[in-house]
Amino acid sequence: MLLYHINVGFPLVSASAELHTPHEAIYARDPVARNGLARWQHYDAPDSAYKEQVFFHHVKQNSDRHTEVLLQNGDLGFVVGWNAAAMPYFSQWKNARQGFYVSGIEPGNCIPMGQNAERQSGRLQMLAPGKHLATRCSLSIVEGEAELQAERADIDAIQVEGTPTSAKLTDFA
């Protein structure tokens, strides 16, 4: 199981931040996240009563099997790109609780539900002895409206023209 857990905080995460993803579907991890599903892409101001929300994205990939997401706040953005054929899953962890104000941007070959759940769902990937898996994850900071517009256009192109990954996701909540 491989999952890149990338935590992002202020100034990228604030009440005006938005996450842009090329997706076929988005699933809530549990009933708390289901209540926030309509606002999965928007981030809230810190709140001492906030309960974390986790969303699993069935992402799309371009013809090179690449995908990327953009966390944008005003004229500042954070782009994570990866080979979606090797890592077909994307998990979004939102924690707007005051004192823990953070978002997890998590591409992987699994979702963070545990090895038993991954095995039972058919998502658990096994490497045979002597085999290897090569992955790549890129991280970029983008500034300025022109650069951000270009990144959103890339994601929109994957959203419109891309193909879904082979991810096996269903409703969780």
The first and second tokens of residue 101, run together, are: 């104000």
The DSSP call for residue 129 is T
**pLDDT of 56-108, one tens digit each?**
999 999 999 999 999 999 999 999 999 999 999 999 999 999 988 999 999 99
Please report, for residues 7, 26, 28, 151, the alpha-carbon distance to residue 38 in angstroms, rounded to integers and kept in the order given: 22, 10, 10, 23
Domains observed in the chain: 6-164 (2.70.98.10)
Higher pLDDT, 58 or 172: 58
**pLDDT of 100-130, one tens digit each?**
899 999 999 998 888 898 889 888 888 899 9
In order, the DSSP letters of 60-105 are: EE-TTSEEEEEEEETTEEEEEEEETTT--EEEEEEE-BTT--EEEE
